[in-house]
Structure 1
Amino acid sequence: MSKRDYRLDKAKGLLIFLVVVGHLLEEISGWSMGYSRVLLTVIYGFHMPAFVFLAGITAKSNRLAERVLVFLVFAVTAQPVYYWWTELFQKPPDIEFDEPYWITWFLVAMVWWLLSLPLIERFPRFMLAASIAIGVLGGVQSIFEYQLSIGRAMTFFPYFVIGKLYGKQLLEWSAQLSVTKKLGMSALAVVPMAMFFLHDIDRRWFYGARGFEFFDEAIPYGVGMRVLVAAGAIAMVIVLLAWSGLLPNSLILVGQRSLAIYLLHGLIIRAVEKPLDWFLDSTSGSITILLCFVLAAVVTLLLAWSPFDRALRWYSSGLARFVTSRIALFTPSRSTARH
């Protein structure tokens, strides 16, 4: 049995904290505020690519049907829960059957990426090239954007494949760099983020759902933008890996329970939207941003409480095993099929 690498847990812990921070900043219209827009540009410039990259590192093809079903259970369950919850605090969202609501896109995208694992393992070089082509050129099509998370699954697919094939090697290589080289790489990684901020690029380039037609841009420009965004994200991912060993140990449990935090934090975000608006109207933007960081830390630590994680694992894994066992009852074994 391979020893667990806690550096990955620390990295996941930091990333899920940034997810919560980013969503809180968005609730106060952070993209229109100077300091907040700097933070959001950096966060959205790399946090989901990094998450997908780490998902690729830890992805396993054994018991694949059960793993896929776990994410399907979460995705299907989350839709009505988020609809009813949001309705309590504000106007109910417009939810289409084939368009996962808000943060649930990641759960459906994970299904697509997990289903690709056998191909990645069987044809690694081909799938690497194919994933890059899909990620860069996927914006040419505008039929599938939010539908079944296909648009985002295509955009972030290269990070999953690279994580699966080369993630552990990149982790070891970056971690062994000297402090001077790590600092140099960190400085270089800031450059594209600064460019994105100074040129005030449309934040939806970071979301990865929309095709080039939505931005009213020609294919060469759209391809160039995706390449630039991907290059900036990869640089930040390498920096995260390089410093992951020095992150505080308190992030380990947070990282190990990041899926539970991801699933549940949206409920709190929706509940505090109006109080945050009121607080912003009553005080300065800087203080509200500071409050968002404090609140994000509280939410992250609260949702890292083990009963939340255990309950969600029991629910999803139990239902997934039940479904697979029922399917097995109606699937003839090989020996039976030969007779």
Structure 2
Amino acid sequence: MRNHFLDTHKAILIFLVVFGHFLERMIGWRDPISHTLLGTIYLIHMPAFIFVSGILYKDKNWLKNTLFFLSLYIPFQFLFAVYDGFWSGQIHWNWNVFIKPYWVFWYLFAMMAWTCLTHFLLKVSNGFAFIFSLLMAVFIGLSPWNNYLYSSGRIFVFFPFFIFGVIYGKSVLEKIQQQATAKYYGLMGLMGLMGLMGLAAFVYFTHINPYWLYGSLSYSQLKVTVFDGIFIRIFVLILSSFGIVALLSVTQFFQGKWQKLGIYTLPVYLLHGFVVMWIARYYQVDFHIFLEILICIILSILSCWVLQQAFFDHLLRKMSLWLLNPTARFWRMQK
């Protein structure tokens, strides 16, 4: 049985993903208002999405799911490289296209890593898995190599949210849903809204470096000392955790809304990049900042509405069969 509260939450998150990419590509971080919006979105949306992915993790399907992500990662890496090269007029082919995730596809690459790591870490203990993920999130920044390569930085920086979702996510979700039907319904939602406003105020006044929110660079790449790097990373992880709870609390105000979008988040995530890149290359906005933001909101709504159609999800599922079917046949032969 589907959890409609979770579907609504996923719908909000995927909209924020699309909206954030339109904002970043069409307006950028230059304006204080845009910076505040983007910073608040990036502080929350991917940690929250990864937390939800942890809730939905099923250990019995870990290998099948890893192959599913791989079956989409390989063709989409190729397609995006060709697509980007077509519009820019520069197609540079090399094998790095498959091992260096392109833009949004770091998430598919990371899902493969998180799924495999979680399967083996849980064999030790839940506590060990969570502590290991926290330590790696902090200490990956000490590594001497470029954390952007192979999404190594993002894989480990965001890993605690996935593990926490796997171990404690259902409990957290149940508590928030209980509050949604209890006498604290309005209070919880109001506190969540105030929490989001507090995070926005923090982003506005600190003018935080976006690369701390991407989780993709080491401390040396961010040009900070080890002590400062560890402190800032822990602080950002705490803020993101606070943001996840705040957004879950606000979600209760929208229960039952946009469920179709929440069900079909995968095609929206994988395909919206084509739309964003195409529009951003040909239609650069140059109006008042609030009008520019409104344009991005409208484009995001339209993109989500079109790409949430079941047809695109079925297409992706069929696309994945090029790897899943031969693999399934192979395992049957081995038995």
- Report the number of matched residues: 326
Mapped to 1, the partners of 2:196 and 2:203 lie a distance apart of 12
Identify which of 32, 37, 44 aligns with 2:30: 32
Classify the secondary structure of the residue corresponding to 2:283. Answer: helix
Trace 1:1-339 onto structure 2 (pairs within 5 A).
3-92=1-90, 96-97=96-97, 98-122=99-123, 123-143=125-145, 145-177=147-179, 178=184, 179-247=186-254, 249-277=256-284, 280-281=285-286, 283-317=287-321, 319-329=323-333, 331=334, 333=335
AA partner of residue 73 (structure 2)? A
More deviation, 297-306/169-178: 169-178
Q: Which runs of 5+ in 2 are unaligned?
A: none
CA offset digits 1:141-175 (Å, max 9, x no partner)? 14252222221110000000000111111112223
Could you say what secondary structure the match of 2:219 adopts? coil
The SS at the match of 1:30 is coil
Query: Partner letter of residue 106 of structure 2?
Result: W
Alpha-carbon distance in 1 for matches of 2:112, 2:298: 33
Query: Please, which moves more after superposition, 186-195 or 57-66?
Result: 186-195
Query: 1:56·1:160 contact (CA, 8 Å) conserved in 2?
Result: yes
With over 3 angstroms needed to count, the CA separation of the structure-2 counterparts of 1:321 and 1:142, relative to structure 1, is farther
TM-score, length basis structure 1: 0.90
Letter aligned with residue 314 of structure 2: R
When residues 91 and 237 of structure 1 are mapped into structure 2, their CA distance, relative to the original with a 3 A threshold, is: farther
Q: Structure 1: which 5+ runs fail to align?
A: 334-339
1:314 and 1:31 mapped to 2: Cα distance?
38
**Deviation per residue, 1:163-204 (Å, 9 max, x gap):** 011111111222334122442344245334422321112101
CA distance in 2, matches of 1:14, 1:255: 8
Q: Measure how far apart 1:327 and its partner are.
A: 4.8
In structure 2, the partner of 1:336 is none
Distance 1:265 1:185, change over 3 A: closer
Q: What's the TM-score, normalizing by structure 2? A: 0.91
Taking a change above 3 Å as real, the CA distance of residues 120 and 182 of structure 1, as seen in their structure-2 partners, is: farther
Aligned mates of 1:243, 1:188 — CA distance in 2: 10
Could you give the per-residue CA deviations for residues 251-299 of structure 1, whole angstroms, max 9, x where no partner exists? 211111101110000000111013331xx23x33321210110010000
Using the TM superposition, give the Cα deviation of residue 317 of structure 1 relative to its aligned residue in structure 2, in angstroms: 4.3
Q: Give 3-state SS (helix, strand or coil) of 1:32's partner.
A: coil
What is the one-letter code of the residue matched to 2:313?
D
CA contact (8 A) 2:35 2:207 kept: no
Q: Deviations over 1:71-104 (max 9, x none)?
A: 0111111111001111232254777343111101
Deviations 1:103-128 (A, max 9, x none): 01000000011112323433101111
Kept in 2, the 8 Å contact 1:65–1:324? The answer is no
Amino acid paired to 1:167 = G
Q: CA RMSD in A?
A: 1.9
> 8 Å contact 1:45–1:232 — kept in the other structure?
yes
Contact residue 193 and residue 250 of structure 2 kept, 8 A: no
Rounded Cα–Cα distance in structure 2 between residues aligned with 1:146 and 1:216: 15
Counterpart residue identity of residue 107, structure 1: L
Distance 2:270 2:296 in 1: 19
Query: How many Å separate the matches in 1 of 2:255 and 2:33?
Result: 26
Range with bigger deviation, 52-61 or 243-252: 243-252
Decide whether the 8 Å contact of 1:186 with 1:236 is kept in 2.
Answer: no
Code of the aligned partner of 2:298: V
Partners of 2:195 and 2:246 within 8 A in 1: no
Pair 93,253 (structure 1): closer, same or farther in 2 beyond 3 Å: farther
Alpha-carbon distance in 2 for matches of 1:88, 1:106: 24
- Paired with 1:291 and 1:248, the residues of 2 have a C-alpha distance of 26
Identical aligned residues as a percent: 28
Structure 1 residues 297-306 or 23-32, which shifts more? 23-32
